[in-house]
Amino acid sequence: MRFDPSPAAIWQKYERDRDYKRSIGLYDRVRRNEAFYLGRQWEGLRVQSLDPLIFNVLRRCVNLFVSMLVSDDVAVRAQPFDMDSAGRRTARILERSFASAIERSGVKALGRPLLKNACVDGDACFYLHFDPTLETGQAIKGDIAAELIDSTNICFGNPACDEVQRQPYLILAMRRDVDEVKKEVRENGMGADEAEAIRPDGDADHLRRLHGENNRVTVLLHMRRTEHGVAFCKTTRTATVMREKELPYRYYPVTHLCWNRVRGSCHGESPLTEAIPNQIAINKLYSMYVQCIKQVAFPKIIYDMTRFPNGWSNDVGRILRTFKIKKNVEVTDNGKDNF
């Protein structure tokens, strides 16, 4: 099947994947899991007679899972076919080069947020690419960069398979400023018509951390396998940001991690999804326990107003005058006789 690089065709693939995500409830599930992890566990509930208390157990569980996995370091070991002196020297050079690239790209630093996203959302992925604008401290700019991609922003060509390297194509969706995208269009040698065709759009299914996205546009990075490598192109809904370029890659520069694999789906399952009802029960019990303490901890005082016309008072140190007039008759400061 011939590939169509037009923005409309790529956007159609993107919309098809979004329909699949909606059909499995991915957007709502990720939004709910993220809210419970951050502690927003009473959203949309209006209560007046009960204090909405939160005892966030889910966050502690996620932090425990992530810390157990992050404690293992990441490294690359090279082993040559010929174990002579030259081969071992080459292996040491490669290992040091890999370690330097991992350190510069920040892969180790992104390991914790990657695992956190996978645990909360169900899956997460890395995108590795060469950024020509990075400062290296040398005369030439550019270095390897690693980006963390949310599970809602990666589109698989075959949604029934979670293996990245078996996909016919991949699409990464990114929200970027319109001015920044127009600048990239001009740097890529595209015409002025393409730059003017870029307009802000709204994307309700993206998890927006900030409100008021009035000047952003969705940019789609499409990558597919070819006979000689992997071809890349960038588009928006109405314009082409970068024409298709073919690079001699053997693999997609994307790594994907599922926390719990789901058969027949490219997206995993989060352990928070099944634990949210337990978290809700804990919050309800905790809130009702505190409310019960408020109501029964201090007993209600019932007194006879005829004997205490000035009202009841339990002030500390207050003196009540009492004296006896005759046998079995006692007078207090309320002016009444007590028999």
Q: Quote the pLDDT of residue 339.
A: 43
Q: How far apart are CA 283 and CA 271, in angstroms?
A: 18
Count the helix, strand and coil residues of the chain and give each as a percent rounded to the nearest 5.
Answer: 35, 20, 40
Stretch 296-322: mean pLDDT, rounded? Answer: 71
Helix runs in the chain, H state only: 7-23, 26-38, 57-70, 85-105, 111-121, 178-187, 192-196, 271-296
Q: Quote the pLDDT of residue 327.
A: 57
Query: Is residue 127 packed enough to be buried (19+ CB in 10 Å), middle (13-18) or exposed (0-12)?
Result: buried
Q: Quote the pLDDT of residue 70.
A: 84
Q: Quote the pLDDT of residue 255.
A: 93
Q: Quote the pLDDT of residue 264.
A: 92
Q: What percent of the chain has pLDDT over 70?
A: 89
The side-by-side arrangement of strands in the sheet containing 329-332 is 322-326, 329-332, 337-338
The amino acid present at 320, given as its one-letter code, is: L
Label residue 334 by pLDDT band (50, 70, 90): low
What is the per-residue pLDDT across 248-278, written as a single tens digit (0 to 9) for each?
999 999 999 999 999 999 999 999 999 999 9
Q: Quote the pLDDT of residue 279.
A: 94
The H or E element spanning position 144 is strand 143-149
Residue with tokens 């690419």: 129
Measured on CA atoms in the order 182, 185, 189, 193, is the torsion positive or negative?
A: negative
Q: How far apart are CA 138 and CA 110, in angstroms?
A: 25
Q: Residue 324: pLDDT above 80?
A: no
Q: What tokens does 337 get? A: 């006789």
Give the Cβ contact number of residue 254 at 10 Å: 20
Q: How far apart are CA 123 and CA 271, in angstroms?
A: 11
Domain ranges, ordered by start, for the chain:
7-73+108-285, 301-338
CB 198 within 8 A of CB 190: no
What is the per-residue pLDDT across 30-84, written as a single tens digit (0 to 9) for each?
999 999 999 998 887 777 778 888 999 999 999 999 998 887 777 888 888 887 8
**What burial letters (b/e) apply to 271-298, b meaning 16+ CB within 10 Å?**
bbbebbeebeebbeeebeeeeeeeeeee
